């Protein structure tokens, strides 16, 4: 049996929650390996709706769920999320949930800095969620982070706080803010430490044991490849590597553990926040896509920008992240369109491109080249086999996989777990 790594192959919000939940019911362990509580997943199980931001999706089914070292952890957000899920009847305990002891922490000072920067940026705003994710990653690579393991040694934190505050106090002064209140920060950490520490362990060791036993591991990515700090639409990106390769570094397992890479792909394209978007539709069609797809962020509630499917971007994402097969989601949102379009290339100052350029100025200028197809009048909602799909919808799926040069492994036809057409089983292949 293969392990499976799930990543978003667009700008996030592709419907990973439902797919991960579907796969988690067949996995023995689910691991978050990057990002923070800025990535929202909505799970629908029966008549219950669960909204997760930090916890791995497997927690809802009682599957062993692990937050790996590649994640930046807001301990107060974690506590609030656990308490909310427990209020919905989800049992979270030390047997089914673990946190890597070497996770960096998101602190109140990170949230402060995130907000101050965005407020001062004006037209240069990146569009962060303001949750302190970026500043926390900066402190990690700057070797001044407070980590989960430090919660057990708060009385020996002076040297680390010196480094941390020397950096942040200077930044805060530039924004006209007072220095970090070290005493208040320590009090906050002392208050949350007992709750977090009950779940803490060297998860690389636990995962090694799980893998040795032949268990199936599901690696759960957050955001999407187009938000990757190296390969995304820089600088309008997140602060971590969202590609499948980071599953190894962010969990403590080697690269041969990544297994089948499943790229989640929406049947059209959406994006939250600022940044280039070649196929964006600022007309009635874009509004129709947004309304039918309920395109509002799980975490922020922000309205998503909508546009036609961009095969160039998805092909690039699949190549960069080594995608084995895709899960195509929200096909039903295209039901009833007389014509549908797919972007097959770009024009940039008279030149035709079959890739998305790296420079922001070029990204802003590219014009999409479209291929138009007939739409379908029948419904795809709730389909569980190819026979349930309109013929033209099948043609659309086939054309998508041709253009992105990656086969379709799953088709999701509603938020319900069982409304899924299985073409290729990631855990077997």
Which residues are annotated as catalytic?
13, 41
CA distance linking residue 418 with residue 405, whole number of Å: 27
Distance CA(43)–CA(413), nearest Å, equals 14
Q: Rounded distance, CA 387 to CA 368, Å?
A: 33
Candidates 241, 207, 248; CA nearest to 8 is 241
**Residue 120 Cα to chain centre, angstroms:** 27
Structure-block tokens of residue 95: 């047997």
Q: d(Cα 391, Cα 389) in Å, to the nearest integer? A: 6
CA-wise closest residue to 124 among 240, 275, 229: 275
DSSP secondary structure letter of residue 55: S
CB of 178 closer than 8 Å to CB of 172: yes
Contacts of 285 (CB under 8 A, 6+ apart): none
The H-or-E segment that residue 387 falls in is none
Contact 292, 299 (CB under 8 A): no
Interatomic CA distance for residues 134 and 130, integer angstroms: 9
CB crowding 206-215: b at 16 or more within 10 Å, else e = bbeebbeeee
Omega before 235 within 30 of 0, i.e. cis: yes
The answer to whether 13 and 197 have CB atoms below 8 angstroms apart is no
Residues 6+ apart with CB under 8 A from 193: 151, 152, 154
Residues 313/67, Cβ–Cβ less than 8 Å:
no
CA nearest to 163, candidates 138, 187, 184: 138
Q: Please list, in sequence order, all residues whose beta carbon lies within 8 angstroms of the beta carbon of residue 359, skipping any fewer than 6 positions away.
A: none
For residue 36 the two structure tokens come to 């923070």
Cα–Cα separations (whole angstroms), residue 214 to 98, 245, 255, 257, 406: 19, 21, 17, 12, 28
């Amino acid at each position: 049996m293969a392990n499976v790594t799930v990543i978003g192959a667009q700008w996030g919000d592709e419907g990973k929650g439902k797919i991960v939940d579907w796969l988690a019911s067949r996995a023995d362990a689910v691991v978050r390996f990057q990002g923070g509580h800025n990535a929202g997943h909505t799970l629908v199980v029966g008549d219950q709706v669960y909204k997760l931001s930090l916890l791995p999706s497997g927690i809802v089914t009682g599957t062993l769920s692990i937050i790996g070292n590649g994640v930046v952890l807001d301990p107060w957000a974690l506590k609030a999320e656990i308490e909310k899920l427990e209020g919905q009847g989800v049992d979270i305990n030390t047997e089914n949930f673990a946190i890597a002891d070497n996770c960096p922490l998101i602190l109140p000072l990170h949230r402060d800095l995130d907000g101050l920067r965005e407020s001062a940026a004006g037209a240069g705003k990146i569009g962060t969620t303001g949750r302190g994710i970026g500043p926390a990653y900066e402190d990690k690579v700057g070797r001044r982070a407070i980590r989960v393991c430090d919660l057990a040694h708060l009385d020996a934190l002076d040297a680390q706080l010196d480094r941390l505050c020397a950096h942040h106090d200077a930044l805060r002064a530039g924004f006209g803010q007072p220095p970090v209140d070290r005493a208040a920060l320590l009090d906050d950490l002392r208050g949350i430490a007992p709750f977090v520490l009950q779940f803490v362990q060297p998860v690389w060791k636990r995962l090694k044991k799980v893998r040795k036993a032949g268990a199936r591991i599901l690696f759960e990515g957050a955001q999407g490849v187009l938000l990757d700090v190296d390969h995304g639409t820089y600088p309008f990106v997140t602060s971590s590597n969202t590609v499948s390769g980071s599953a190894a570094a962010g969990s403590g397992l080697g690269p041969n553990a990544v297994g089948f890479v499943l790229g989640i792909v929406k049947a059209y394209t959406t994006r939250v926040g600022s940044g280039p978007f070649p196929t964006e539709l600022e007309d009635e069609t874009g509004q129709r896509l947004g309304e039918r797809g309920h395109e509002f962020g799980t975490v922020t509630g922000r309205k998503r920008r909508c546009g036609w499917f961009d095969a160039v971007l998805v092909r690039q994402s699949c190549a960069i992240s080594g995608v084995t097969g895709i899960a195509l989601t929200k096909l039903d949102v295209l039901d009833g369109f007389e014509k549908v379009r797919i972007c097959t290339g770009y024009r940039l100052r008279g030149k035709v491109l079959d890739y998305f350029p790296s420079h922001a100025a070029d990204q802003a200028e590219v014009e999409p080249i479209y291929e138009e197809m007939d739409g379908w009048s029948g419904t795809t909602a709730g389909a569980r086999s190819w026979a349930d799909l309109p013929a033209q919808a099948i043609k659309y799926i086939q054309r998508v996989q041709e253009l992105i040069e990656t086969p379709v492994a799953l088709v999701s036809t509603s938020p319900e777990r069982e409304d899924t057409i299985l073409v290729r089983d990631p855990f077997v292949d």
